[in-house]
Amino acid sequence: MIPHITNEIKEHAVKLATPDVDVVIVEIGGTVGDIESLPYLEAMRQLRVEAGRENFINIHVALVPYLSAAKEFKTKPTQYSVKELRGIGIQPDVIVARSDRPLPQEIKSKIALFCDVSTDEVIFNHDADSIYEVPLLMEREGLDTILLKKLGFEPAPAADMSEWRNMVARMKTPQRDVTIGIVGKYTALPDAYLSIVEALKHAGIHNDAEVKIQWIDCQILETDVDVSSVLNKVDGIIVPGGFGERGIEGKIKAARYARENSVPYLGICLGMQLAVIEFARNVCGLSGANSAEFDPNTQYPVIKLLNDQKGQELKGGTMRKGAYPCTIQKDTLVHKAYGEDVVKERHRHRYEFNNEYLESFKKHGMVISGTYADKGLVEAVELENHPWFVAVQFHPEFKSRPQRPHPLFRDFIESVIKNKS
């Protein structure tokens, strides 16, 4: 194990322990024994020693399968995973036992006996339809009380989970449904767009709607297929972020279909750049317009590197990352969504809107609704005379929460519902 790697992991965890924070939660994914997780597990083992055992709890989530043929639960997977943890110096303090049916008391007692925890420290986690139900399940099992006691906190009043319960209830009883097409090149691996999917769920909950996802491989749209035969089945279109040339023309076709057929559209990062390219080609009359990323020799580089980015090729020198302020133009869809004049959003991209073409875009009906004022960078665009066509250079999905859907996703789904009715 390389010390500076585990030290770096520990440092990131410790940084979160600011004076206004009572408890830091560190989640380590994967399966015990996976080589990828070993540095993280070792870092946590060391951190427990350094922080003091009385200030640190290990919670182990384990599967307890039920064999229908034998009509019995099997605790061996849990026992084995705990044995593996002990082998690297970690003893679980609490075991969260996942199963698709309630665990009998004798099974909890068996797990407690062989894993060296008390029966009360074996928490049943019933398989749930949604991850948002899990906090309610954990509260019902008393996990919060156990953790407070183990960490030496004074007993606290029962948590008020009413707002969360209401949110889950709304999620499970939608009044309508909408279908959103996500046009990307990683559609065979939906987790690549997990933050966007969750943000859509949050927006759906707010609008009392079930959001159904239709995954659309952008490369299919690059063939001679009739684009409308693919996209006429969706109520709204999202073109998410990404890098590389593969599938670009298919995404541009999706943006054009949304614009010409009054289908609500949300472009994110690359999805904004491609909406700009489509508009340049088919509205502004700039035939062959492109991004310098995909065609360095294009006559109309409507998307390009900034002059001060050129020559900074090493170690992601051209990448714009992190939170930047965005000044929002009043009387726009974006301003209506946020209700604020300045917001901060996260970025991860290299290429920018080329301001040399700004006036041409405005003249033809594209609204520049958000800018990074310090450098005059275009951050958000939208279209006149369209139900809802918004594209942003940043990543709004990262700030969405179940009880606080991101304003752009919230209004996107609202517009989809209105446009569908």
Which of 60, 206, 386, 395 is flagged as catalytic? 395
Contacts of residue 381, defined as CB under 8 A and 6 or more positions apart, other chains included, come to 272, 275, 276, 353, 361, 366, 367, 368, 369, 370, 390, 391, 392
Contact 114, 107 (CB under 8 A): no
**Alpha helices (runs of H) in 261-380, residue ranges in sequence order:** 270-282, 333-338, 358-363
Using the CB atoms, write b or e for 205-238: b if 16+ within 10 Å: bbbebbbebbebbbbebbeeeebeebbeebbbbb
Q: Which amino acid is at 144?
A: D
Which of 269, 293, 345, 406 is flagged as catalytic? 269
Active site residue 269: yes
* CA–CA gap between residue 327 and residue 340 (Å, rounded): 9
DSSP secondary structure letters along 391-409: EESS-GGGG-BTTB--HHH
Active site residue 414: no
Structure tokens at 272: 């904004």
The helix or strand, by DSSP H or E, that contains position 13, with its residue range, turns out to be helix 3-15
Structure tokens at 234: 């969706």
Structure tokens at 27: 């989640």
Can you say whether residue 33 is alpha, beta or left, with left for phi > 0 and alpha for psi between -120 and 50 degrees? left
Active site residue 395: yes
Contact 409, 266 (CB under 8 A): yes
Residue 185: φ, ψ to 5°: -105, -5
Q: Which amino acid is at 321?
A: K
Question: What positions carry a catalytic annotation?
Answer: 269, 395, 397
